Amino acid sequence: MKDLPVHDHRHACDATRIETAARRKIARPRGWIGIAAALALGCGPAGAQTAGEDALRMLTGSTGGPAVGVGAEAPRFGGPRPALAGPVDPASYRLGPGDVLSLEYGGKALDTKIFVVDAEGRVRIPNLGLVEVGGSTLADARADILKRLRPYVPGASLDLRLLQPRTFKVYVLGEVKSAGMQEVAGSARVLEAIEAAGGTNPNASRRNIRVLRRDGRVEIADVERFERTGDWEANPYLEDGDRVIVPVAIQRFGVFGAVARPNFYELREGDSLATALRIAGGLLLEARLDSVLIVRFRGAHQLDTLTTSLEQGAGAEAVALRADDRVFIRSQPEWRPIRQVTITGEVMSPGTYVIEEGRSRVSDLVRWAGGFTPQGAARNVRLERHTSGVENDVEFERLGRLTRDEMTNSEYQTFRGKLAVRQSAYLIDFSTGTPMPPESDVPLRNGDHVDVPRLELAVRVDGSVRSPGLVTFQGRRTAAEYIKMAGGPTRRGDVRDARLTHSGSTNTVFARDASRIEPGDFIWVPEKRDTSFWTLFRDAVIVTGQVATIILAINQLSK
């Protein structure tokens, strides 16, 4: 019997030794009885799958080395191999050198034979001789071999299985991290080879990857479409000796608006509007199907606007995309609006609540939150509302850099007005159980935030006092009395000019004008202004001169 070509002499010697050992074992009747017993016990799915391997171990008298077909290279089961992505598909998996096949006989002719596809893509099958399987799918090879074998083993059940896919070399070139040769499993696809090469560079194409076959065929892989849609056609199988060329991405298009992933994407020849929408994750529920806009360049600068409809599935496949197209999917106005506000602080159930804008009010929100806790400062409920359109006010920024003396009266009033517009917090008094005054119970807007502070049982006194800090709140006391409780003013403290800021507010008034002091209020005692003799003398001279001028004017008029 003529030996088949073997690339590795060590593996050929191993195969010869295994064949010799197998023949010696076969010559012993007890060995065949043992094999039959082992296969008979291998009932059930797991036993059926491993029967060939168990018989193989008994034939060789070892625990790991399989027997092989005549003239074939011994398979290497022990070394590290690329992991399989899942079960191979017999209809698409193409056999090649190194694949390990198991031919199993059932019924009266109980037997299992292991074959390795040789370097020329052939296996030696009993009664059939050398059979060409390289390049055939597993399903086609199985059907052909079993059909040709059945006349030789009438009444027996036959099966041809792939025990172990081969590994082979492919070349991954172009815009990848580690260009060069990569080893992949027999069922590998293009994306696996690219990942084995470290992945693509930032400027790499992922939709126009060329796969050059050894027979001259060229396939285009679109791994981005595969990653986003799971389309297997976009991620083809690899074959022995393939060259995977990853070019630079050149052309692109954009999809924006009511789609799952609005962005720019690489353009591939033949892309349609339907392809673009699939890659962008599909349309959102609020997408308008009646007026999809496509903005397209005509020449270097001019733009054209195209309108198409996607209603009733029309038009998407027929609209071809071009380089630099922009697709805009508009949303239906006011699509399922969710308006919500939050309430925090001293309420029974703080959190987020849905409102009906224009109808729900602050008092409604407090009621939904279960009312105030015993520690809640109901007098100082704070409503915070974002004011839009005031972020980039150049005039306000200019006035903010001036001092009061540098402003005219008109500029100062304008500055105070703009500052008031920027106020984002408002106090609402719930001390009587309802908002006071009733007009402060304003309708809520989306994004409003209501905070109920904790009741403060102290008044803060600071500035030019002897013991600045917190003093115990006592009802019906005046600002002067609270200043006295803080040790009284210092030598330079000016009690007459003391200021009061109510809790939760930014407005400051003279303490002497305050009708009441509330818990949490802040009293500030400023220092007296510095005066000097020369300042007083200058003021006296100016006043005296003005009086003298007036007297002279009166005398002149009376003559």
**Residue 99: which CATH number?**
3.30.1950.10
Give 454-484 as a DSSP string. BPP-EEEEEESBSS-EEEE--TT--HHHHHH
383 and 472 together in one domain: no
Number of independent structural domains in the chain? 5
384 and 445 together in one domain: yes
Residue where one domain finishes, among candidates 164, 181, 212 = 164
177 and 197 together in one domain: yes
**Residue 515: which CATH number?**
3.10.560.10
351 and 428 together in one domain: yes
220 and 278 together in one domain: no
498-513 burial code (b ≥16 CB/10 A, e <16) = bbbbbbbbeeeeebee
pLDDT for 390 equals 55
In a domain, 74, yes or no: no
pLDDT for 524 equals 92
443 and 503 together in one domain: no
- Structural domain range at position 174: 167-246
In a domain, 18, yes or no: no
pLDDT for 174 equals 96
- Return per-residue pLDDT of the chain as tens, 559 residues: 333 333 343 333 343 343 444 334 333 333 433 433 333 333 333 333 333 334 333 333 333 333 344 334 444 444 466 777 778 889 988 999 999 999 998 876 678 899 999 999 999 998 899 999 998 999 999 999 999 999 988 888 899 999 999 999 999 999 999 999 999 988 899 999 999 999 999 999 999 999 999 989 999 999 999 998 889 999 999 998 999 999 999 999 999 999 999 999 999 999 999 999 999 999 999 999 888 999 999 988 899 999 998 876 666 788 899 999 999 999 998 888 889 999 999 999 999 999 998 899 999 999 999 999 999 989 889 999 876 655 677 887 888 888 877 888 888 888 877 776 666 778 899 988 999 889 999 999 999 999 999 888 899 999 999 999 999 988 888 889 899 999 999 988 888 889 998 876 767 888 888 888 888 889 999 988 766 667 777 778 888 888 888 888 888 777 6
360 and 421 together in one domain: yes
425 and 363 together in one domain: yes
384 and 465 together in one domain: no
233 and 294 together in one domain: no
Task: Please tell me what DSSP assigns to residue 527.
Answer: B
The residue among 90, 106, 198 whose CA lies nearest residue 143 is: 90
pLDDT for 442 equals 92
* Dihedral of the alpha carbons of 110, 116, 118, 123, in degrees to the nearest 10: 20
In a domain, 374, yes or no: yes
141 and 158 together in one domain: yes
Residue where one domain finishes, among candidates 452, 477, 508 = 452
Number of Cα atoms under 13 Å in the Cβ half of residue 446? 6
- Separation CA 56–CA 50 (nearest Å): 10
Number of Cα atoms under 13 Å in the Cβ half of residue 82? 20
In a domain, 411, yes or no: yes
Q: Give the pTM.
A: 0.53
Residue where one domain finishes, among candidates 164, 199, 225 = 164
